[in-house]
Amino acid sequence: MKSAVGAFQRESDEQKLGTELLERIGCFVFRTNQPRASRVTPGLPDVIALLPRRLGVLLWEAKSATGRQSDAQILVESRCRDSAVPYVCGTVADLTVALEGLGLLVG
């Protein structure tokens, strides 16, 4: 699968491009992943974005086209859905679809 920019991307590239997109549309972005071992809660997504226009929060677990979720990430996604919190797992293309659905991007 190709990303929104048309080339195969590593997960770190997807996250960089997606974070830039979120910031361009007015989101305040928190990045939770670190290059070193940390004590971050297992399953916490890579990006927490405070959305513009009082639309709340969006959680994004950045993945390459071939990336897979851990069991902890699957649990967090399930809890987000149960709480009506927008959660995206995937590439920049997946993030773009979610942002279009929230009315933050025009497709």
The model carries a pTM of 0.88
Cβ 61 vs Cβ 70: under 8 Å: no
C-alpha distances (whole Å) from 43 to each of 3, 74, 105 are 23, 7, 27
Span 9-20, pLDDT tens digits: 899 999 999 999
Handedness of CA 83, 52, 98, 69 (dihedral sign): negative
Q: What is the mean pLDDT of residues 73-100?
A: 97
Residue 39: which pLDDT band, with cuts at 50, 70 and 90? confident
Q: What is the mean pLDDT of residues 70-80?
A: 97
Span 48-71, pLDDT tens digits: 999 999 999 999 999 999 999 999
Judged against a pLDDT cut of 60, whether residue 81 lies above it is answered with yes
